[in-house]
Amino acid sequence: MFFAEALSPTQLVLVGLMILAGAFVLRRSTVLSQRSKARDVAGELRREMRYAEQTVSSQIRKLEVRLYDYGREVEGRLQTKMVQLDRLIVDADREIDRLQQLVDESRQGNPSTGMKAGPDIIGPAAAHPSVSSGALPPCDSSEPSRLGFPKRRMIVRLSQAGYSADEIARILERSQHEVRGVLEEENRSGRADAA
């Protein structure tokens, strides 16, 4: 009682609050020490390691999925390119067959041309020195219309492919006058068709 009489009510309240705060701090430190004693450090490490492994394995799985998708995309592109190349090969084979047929038709129209079989239509230049030197063999150039249909068609096709009249004359072993005459007739008939 002496203690209570010596202090004022405000001081009593402050002392009570200090005792409560001290009790709270002691209780908290006791609980924390008990938790630290009961804590399983090895178990926590195992859990952390397991979590890290799961994270890494999930990242690896994601990368595998991305790699698989990329592989499928590349395979699809390669398949598309292969189909396009196959189409080009088929088109090239058709064109080779067409040119071979034109060469065969031109041989039938004029069997003395001496052209080789195959896609190389400039073959006679090597076989005939007179053609490679620039001199054309003698032929009757008075009538361009004397040429057969296969020869005329060959002249027109070679002209459409970008060959000049001189080059066509050397290839087909005809005079430049004949070649120019056929090309002029074709131009006239083309203009007449357009009109």
Within a domain: 47: no
Distance CA 105, CA 153 (A): 10
Q: Residue 78 domain-assigned?
A: no
Q: Which among 53, 50, 30 is positioned nearest to 42, based on CA atoms?
A: 50
**pLDDT, tens digit, 9 for 90 and up, residues 59-106:** 999 999 999 999 999 999 999 999 999 899 988 888 888 888 888 888
Residue 62 lies in a domain: no
pLDDT above 70 as % of the chain: 75
Cα radius of gyration rounded to whole Å, the chain:
50
Domain-embedded: residue 61: no
Q: Domain tally for the chain?
A: 1
Q: Give the model confidence (pLDDT) of 126-141 as tens digits.
A: 334 443 444 444 444 4
Cβ atoms < 10 Å from Cβ of 167: 14
In sequence order, the 6+-apart residues with CB closer than 8 A to the CB of 119 are 96, 99, 100
pTM for the full predicted model? 0.31
Residue 34 counted as domain residue: no
Residue numbers of the domain that contains 168: 97-194
128 falls within a domain: yes
Question: For residue 158, is it within any domain?
Answer: yes
Q: How far is CA 166 from the centre of its chain?
A: 41
Quick: pLDDT tens for 109-164.
Answer: 654 444 444 444 444 433 344 434 444 444 444 444 567 778 888 888 888 888 88
Q: Assess if residue 159 is contained within a domain.
A: yes
Q: Count Cβ atoms within 10 A of the Cβ of residue 165 and give its class: 0-12 exposed, 13-18 middle, 19 or more buried.
A: buried
